[in-house]
Structure 1
Amino acid sequence: MKRRATLLQRLHIDGPLLILLLMLGATGLFVLYSAGGRNLDLLFKQASSFGLGLVAMAVVAQLEPRFMARWVPLGYVVGVALLVVVDVMGHNAMGATRWINIPGVIRFQPSEFMKLLMPMMMAWYLSKRSLPPNFKHSLISLSLVVVPFVLILDQPDLGTAMLVLASGGFVLFVGGLQWRWLIGAVSAAVPLAVAMWFFVLHDYQKRRVLTFLDPEMDPLGAGWNIIQSKAAIGSGGVFGKGWLLGTQSHLDFLPESHTDFIIAVLGEEFGMVGVCLLLVLYLLLIGRGLTITVQAQTLFGKLLAGGVTMTFFVYVFVNIGMVSGLLPVVGVPLPFISYGGTSVVTLLTGFGVLMSIHTHRKWIAQV
């Protein structure tokens, strides 16, 4: 007997993904209210962005993967063009030019969209070639990644540039990149890092690396964020001080408490238990993404789902790593918890792509 499709299945919405995303969104708003100093305006803006992201997710989930694949090259070209526009006439804030500002209409960060467009473009290109990719196709794939990477690095935005690089690299990895080339790329990373240190990185980025190696060398300057962040997390203990009772953020010891360093607020107020519960939600979400990757019935869908899922993992890993002092500070927000409209909308759109890949399986089985 044929089973009737549920309402969510007819709407091409994956139930487990939706539940996990709503739980993360609610957690983010809950923590943001405290981290933002009980600023309701900040809370409403984030809630509006999350709502807009859910709409974008639902709309993208209706699109068949083969339809999206048809428009990926155009989207990639538009994304690169917007990055060029940012470089030429972008809006400058706090010493960085990362935004396009249309007064009275919208202000957005094109590099955020490239986090999604990059794996889509790589999946589109590799799905039309035999796998594992040969040297020529691997070189072309890398060139597709390098162009937006360089443009974003020039803004300067090292964190986003590295995420874009990782999103493209993960698709290549899922596509079966040969191990000898992978080992060669890792080996080349050392001289490349040296070259970036002398010719690419700005002074403030170098200070971040040095601070990562020894935060105590400048405790009242570059090392302040890391020291206060670790102090906040450590002071929370096992169960935390309680919601709205954190001292590091509310007494302004912790900079950027509602954006990049928001997990330090969560650690101080809800302790190790709160952080572990958040990590469980992230692991469940990543696990669901990997399940969708395995079950995908087309090469494009498999490559794209794997790339999107692993990029999300890097988001979480890098943010928690830098806040806890295990990685240099690169300005990567914590997904669905940190304040940031463009980031939330982009992330939810990416999960809309995962839902599309999963729920359209019956229709695309013969594609």
Structure 2
Amino acid sequence: MDTSQIETALKAVKYPGFSRDIISFGLVKNIEFQEGVAKVHLALTTGDPRIPTQVKADVENVLAQLDGVTSADVSVVVSKPKTPPPASGDARTVTGPAQQALPGVKHIIAVASGKGGVGKSTFAVNLACALDRVLTESGRKRRVGLMDCDIYGPSTPLMMGVSRQPEIQGEMLIPVENFNVRVMSMGLLVDEHTPVVWRGPMIMKTIQQFAANVEWGELDFLIVDLPPGTGDAQLSLVQTLPLRGAIIVTTPQAAAVNVARRGAMMFGKVNVPLIGVAENMSYLEGADGARQYIFGQGGGRRTAQALETDFLGEVPLDPLLREGSDLGIPIVISDPQRPASQAFMKIAERLKAEFPVTEL
């Protein structure tokens, strides 16, 4: 037994409320091992007194299971956040003062991709609708929101079947709503024939306004559809909102997979945990049940392995998925039993299990 083995074992300890471990978060400052005694020094920044206690207990449990460790000495130094924590039940952050809470919003999840053309917006729309179904079936009265930050190509309004402009109450925009999902998009604020030709600072300002000047209300989940790539919009988002994590969407072929890996690395650099990788357009299933892997096979799973994160599943090619997007009726709503719909439902169930929505 040595310190490197102890460090590897501690990767099993997740920070409360996140899928990311305490090693990758940089919370373990020192590890010593001598004559059967394992000493671990932790440094946390939190205003929640329950978190240090839970992390300390989890570390002690892991150390107790290691062969060669006869006793554990775990010390925790706790620092208070530089900014006041948001109210109980609101989306929170552990990363820094630049981010702001959204009152009433529990969990903010980003949907991202390294490149365009992988069906990311379609994925975000159907995931939001699937989450609403899952939460409704469990008796939750809070709702789901969908923030379309794909500034240059805002397709969410079309896919969600909404077109009216948001109402304004005071200084706040009121999201439009359909299928029990609250939606805000640049596509609702500009004429559909007007191209969005903006520089970085204008994009940053818009995303900040979507966070600060939209009355989202009480939400269990806010799904954020990012534009592809790793530019101003992505960086503005992670600097503005307390993200719980990010889902990376890719298609199976090598061109998409390689770009997806690079795009996902951006979240690691800004301390946003990866929830996992989802593969879109995985296969086309014929009437006889035979599958055709038009874009190749296994790229999403390989991406997840390379990023050391979870593989969330495959979403098949389905003509009804495309038709539903064009008609403004997501397939999760129009035909919840289709294989594509079931793939979204499984991911929604996974999010509900990983990010508790019970009242705090």
Alignment TM-score, normalising by the size of structure 2 = 0.25
More helix by share: 1
Alignment TM-score, normalising by the size of structure 1 = 0.24
